[in-house]
């Protein structure tokens, strides 16, 4: 389920996160919302920048407004990269065209259910307990569950609240209350979803890179990659883009990779369509590393000695 989301984050967001880690204010002011304070700015900027969430008006996010179940489904399905166009019907008869695809896609993955067999309740407000369930199931957080100090973490949402607490994604509304039955506000929704994404996905950062040949690029990572990630998965987390002298831009695709024994260095073999042969320009890796290249001058073959 998470392949699309991993690729989405790797391709589009690693650069933003890396810059934010160095300059915390880098993600600020990406939006035009006047009602988003510093508590929500990072999360709202993140989702707004990548068109996963919209405001209630061009200048307001609706930070303190409650979020509807249908709206939450649309944001979550888009974030997970689910196929909202081809998902089979979940059988809910109260879905409007705007939310139908998202709800069906989430239902197909077993993430979401209706308020009854044939009703989803898209206009009903989402509770904080229900949000905890959505996040836990979507991102597979069940194994992180820990007993909480929340006196209201009871009933069907208990294990999901414990998962968010154990993973450190949330500390609740107060030291002893999660606000299980409270309706979740749009700002809270953005923060919890953002925190969950940041917790759930490992993202490597390029320390340096160099072009070895017109079809191979070496990427040195800041630290050794965890063993649970394959070399292909690691390569897919890097977004390599070429800016050619003629003004064209191309995302480079690879057909093979190798990883050093210490898991710090990737060598990516480019596809024939992505070859730099006969071209001049520069490449960027996650928007951070600029490397010039010039393969417009053919390399002369070695001169054979005559006897």
pLDDT in tens, 247-286: 999 999 999 999 999 999 999 999 999 999 999 999 998 7
Cα dihedral 164, 169, 174, 179 sign: negative
Burial of 29 (0-12, 13-18, 19+ CB in 10 A): exposed
- Region of poorest pLDDT, from 205-214, 254-263, 284-293: 284-293
With a threshold of 0.75, does the pTM exceed it?
A: no
Q: Which two tokens stand for residue 280?
A: 């001049």
* Domain 206-294 listed as CATH 3.30.830.10: no
Reported as a pLDDT band with limits 50, 70 and 90, residue 305 is low
Rounded Cα–Cα distance for residues 240 and 287 (Å): 8
d(C-alpha 189, C-alpha 75), whole Å:
10
- The per-residue pLDDT for 189 is 95
Position 1 pLDDT exceeds 60? no
For the chain, domain boundaries: 3-200, 206-294
What is the share, in percent, of the chain residues with pLDDT greater than 90?
A: 67
65 is written with which tokens? Answer: 């407004």
Contacts of residue 27, defined as CB under 8 A and 6 or more positions apart, other chains included, come to 16, 19, 20, 41, 42, 45, 46, 49
* Bridge partners, residue 290, by sequence: 284
In degrees and rounded to multiples of 5, residue 264 shows phi and psi of -115, -15
Token pair of 30 as six digits: 């990406």
pLDDT of residue 140 exceeding 60, the answer is yes
Q: Considering the chain, what percentage of its residues have pLDDT values greater than 70?
A: 86
């Amino acid at each position: 389920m998470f392949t699309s989301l991993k690729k989405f984050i790797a391709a589009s967001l690693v650069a933003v996160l890396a810059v934010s880690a160095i300059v915390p204010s880098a993600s600020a002011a990406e939006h035009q919302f006047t009602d988003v304070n510093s508590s929500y700015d990072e999360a709202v900027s993140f989702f707004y920048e990548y068109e996963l969430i919209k405001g209630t008006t061009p200048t307001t996010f609706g930070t303190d407004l409650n979020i509807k179940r249908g709206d939450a489904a649309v944001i979550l399905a888009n974030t997970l990269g689910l196929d909202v166009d081809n998902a089979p019907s979940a059988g809910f008869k109260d879905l409007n065209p705007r939310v139908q695809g998202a709800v069906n896609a989430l239902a197909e993955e077993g993430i979401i259910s209706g308020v009854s067999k044939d009703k989803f309740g898209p206009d009903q407000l989402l509770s904080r307990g229900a949000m905890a369930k959505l996040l836990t199931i979507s991102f597979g957080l069940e194994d992180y569950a820990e007993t909480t100090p929340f006196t209201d973490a009871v009933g069907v949402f208990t294990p999901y609240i414990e998962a968010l607490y154990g993973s450190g994604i949330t500390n609740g509304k107060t030291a002893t209350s999660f606000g299980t039955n409270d309706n979740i506000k749009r700002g809270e929704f953005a923060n919890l979803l953002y925190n969950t994404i940041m917790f759930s996905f490992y993202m490597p950062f390029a320390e340096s890179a160099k072009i070895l040949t017109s079809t191979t690029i070496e990427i040195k990572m800041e630290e050794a990659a965890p063993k649970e990630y394959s070399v292909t998965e690691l390569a897919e987390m890097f977004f390599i883009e070429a800016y050619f002298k003629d003004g064209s831009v191309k995302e480079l695709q690879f057909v093979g990779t190798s990883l050093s024994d210490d898991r710090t260095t990737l060598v990516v073999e480019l596809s024939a369509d992505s070859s730099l042969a006969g071209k001049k320009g520069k490449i960027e890796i996650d928007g951070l590393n600029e490397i010039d290249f010039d393969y417009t001058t053919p390399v002369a073959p070695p001169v054979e000695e005559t006897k």
